[in-house]
Amino acid sequence: MARPKPISGFPEFLPAGRFVETMVLRTVTETFELHGFAPIETRAVEPLDQLARKGEIDKEIYVVRRLHAADGEPDELGLHFDLTVPFARYVLENAGHLAFPFRRYQVQKVWRGERPQEGRYREFTQADIDIVGQGNLASHHDVEIPLVALDVFEKLHRDMGLPPVSLRVNNRKLLEGFYRGLGIEETAPVLQRVDKYDKIGPAAVRDLLTDELGLTAEQAAKCVALAGISATDESFVDDVLGLGVEDELLSNGLEELSALVRVARRSVPDRVVADLKIARGLDYYTGTVYETLLVGSEKLGSVASGGRYDSLATDGKTTFPGVGYSFGITRILAPLIGKGLLAANRSVPSAVLVAVDNEDTREDAIAVAAAIRARGIAVEVAPKADKFGKQIRYAERRGIPFVWFGSDSVKDIRSGEQVTADPATWEPPAEDRAPGVMPG
């Protein structure tokens, strides 16, 4: 059989990279639970008409069809491209069994027909949190969600060496109210053009607004001026008011966004930035929106994002508004792991290798390993009876820090220190019990 060729856009980590991913996911999910979010999992497929019913879905959806489907059988199922659409369906189906506000987290693979490039993949892992209400949802949850996100990112930065983040926030009410205050009735096309600000620059956005949408030069100039406002404190409010535009929806948006920035600044200073060019492309966002950049890797674009949606899920009688945030786990980790900037300090879980001096004593070695393993320490028994020097070199190649000899002797093969020990009570140093993350 010829050596298989990898399929682009479907990243697969070596064990050291996978250890990093599992450690990151453990921190992420433990933090979610500390904030009261409960886990769910949804099916991988959804009806195609449901996948495409919200937002601007311009990515290819992977269609699922049985290999032996009958001729003419329609392709009606597709792999989900995010976790929000299936979650909306899940809420509608299970509303009678959920306590609202419902706080959920979900970690699963998703699939998109993207052109593979750094930070963009066809199969990747997302970790989402949402708070969903029944009929209504208090605006203070819009402030809570980024605080959870910051808690996650600060732990990953402090404990695992991931880059710090800049969490950019805006409010769709602020934007739409501002545009209406300028006399612009159709605000969605303006949002779409302003969302290109970082890619094409303010002058090009101004040209799009006048040439494609027919805005006056003054209207376009004020839209671009609004997009250029950013601050890590509430000073952005005065900057917006200084543009001389008035509207009730604008006032509501300013109030909500300033509350978010004020509370976040008390929690983690200068990590949250009010950035008034952030609009988010999907049309179901109705209030606060979030985008997150890795400091030093801004060219990757947003690695985590979300926002408030007031009408994503409805059964025709009751609406389920919510606010959510999605962590692009693979988008964050794959470039860092691929460049060697993040790795585990060993590629196996084992802290100890129990040596076997000859096959007649293998049962004794297995008993020693069981005694150590009973206390939660990862152990493996040497696969081959050999000279101790060769078994030590085997442990070195696998990154195992300790080798156990006989029934009562353990050696730290890094320092060469060997001591007498009881397998029923011996403990390795805390940092050696399991693989850890080692920044490159």
3-state SS, one letter per residue, for the chain: CCCCCCCCCCCCCCHHHHHHHHHHHHHHHHHHHHCCCEECCCCCEEEHHHHCCCCCCCCECCEECCCCCCCCCCCCEEECCCCHHHHHHHHHHHHHHCCCCEEEEEEEEEECECCCECCECCEEEEEEEEEECCCCCCCHHHHHHHHHHHHHHHHHHHHHCCCCEEEEEEEHHHHHHHHHHCCCCCCHHHHHHHCCHHHHCHHHHHHHHHHCCCCCHHHHHHHHHHHCCEECCCHHHHHHHCCCCCCHHHHHHHHHHHHHHHHHHHHCCCCEEEECCCCCCCCCCCCEEEEEEECCCHHHCCCEEEEEEEEEEECCCCEEEEEEEEEEHHHHHHHHHHCCCEEECCCCCCCEEECCCCHHHHHHHHHHHHHHHCCCCCEEECCCCCCHHHHHHHHHHHCCCEEEECCCEEEECCCCCEEECCCCCCCCCHHHCCCCEEEC
Environment class of 142 (CB within 10 Å of its CB; exposed 0-12, middle 13-18, buried 19+):
buried
Is residue 325 part of an annotated ligand binding site? no
285 is in an annotated binding site: yes
- Catalogue the long-range contacts made by 402-405 (C-beta closer than 8 Å, 24 or more residues apart): 402/351, 402/352, 402/353, 402/428, 402/432, 403/352, 403/353, 403/354, 403/355, 404/352, 404/353, 404/354, 404/355, 404/368, 404/369, 404/372, 404/379, 405/355, 405/357
Q: Is 43 assigned to a binding site?
A: no
Q: Is 121 annotated as a binding residue?
A: no
Residue 309 near residue 321 (C-beta atoms within 8 A)? yes
User: Are the C-beta atoms of residues 145 and 116 closer than 8 Å to each other?
Assistant: no
Is 284 known as a binding-site position? yes
The binding site for L-histidine consists of 82-84, 112, 126, 130, 280, 284-285
The binding site consists of 82-84, 112, 126, 130, 280, 284-285
